[in-house]
Amino acid sequence: MNRPDLQEALRDRDAVLRAFVAPDGSLKSIPTKVRKRLVVLDLLAQQFELGEQYDEIEVNNRLRAFHPDVAALRRYLVEEGFLDRADGRYWRTGGTTD
């Protein structure tokens, strides 16, 4: 599969966010298509400050505001390069800086 890069995925940002983000800011669902999921993950990555480190509980608490499956969101953020982790700590490594 040819994985789209973030810039390519962000071309449809507004439409993707309308489809997957509820008026209260929570996610209606986690997109299954990678291109759409990258847009949502970029939005979630903006909840973490560049240069700051977070423990898993804090990451979970921030993600819980968006969707109850925080383990899936956390895993996707790491797998797609938005967050990195080591020794139980997480930090932001990607995404836009709007």
Question: How do residues 34-65 score in pLDDT, each as one tens digit?
Answer: 999 999 999 999 999 999 999 999 999 999 99
The whole-number pLDDT of residue 5 equals 76
Is the pTM for the entire model greater than 0.85? yes
Rounded CA-CA distance 44/67 in Å is 11
- pLDDT tens column, 73-89: 999 999 999 999 999 99
Rounded CA-CA distance 98/5 in Å is 18
**DSSP three-state, residue 89:** strand
Residue 98 has pLDDT above 90, yes or no: no
Looking at the DSSP assignment, which residues form a beta bridge with residue 55?
Answer: 89
- To the nearest whole number, what is the mean pLDDT of the chain? 92
Rounded CA-CA distance 48/77 in Å is 11
Asked whether the CA dihedral 56, 58, 61, 64 is positive or negative, the reply is negative
Rounded CA-CA distance 24/35 in Å is 23
Residue 16 has pLDDT above 80, yes or no: yes
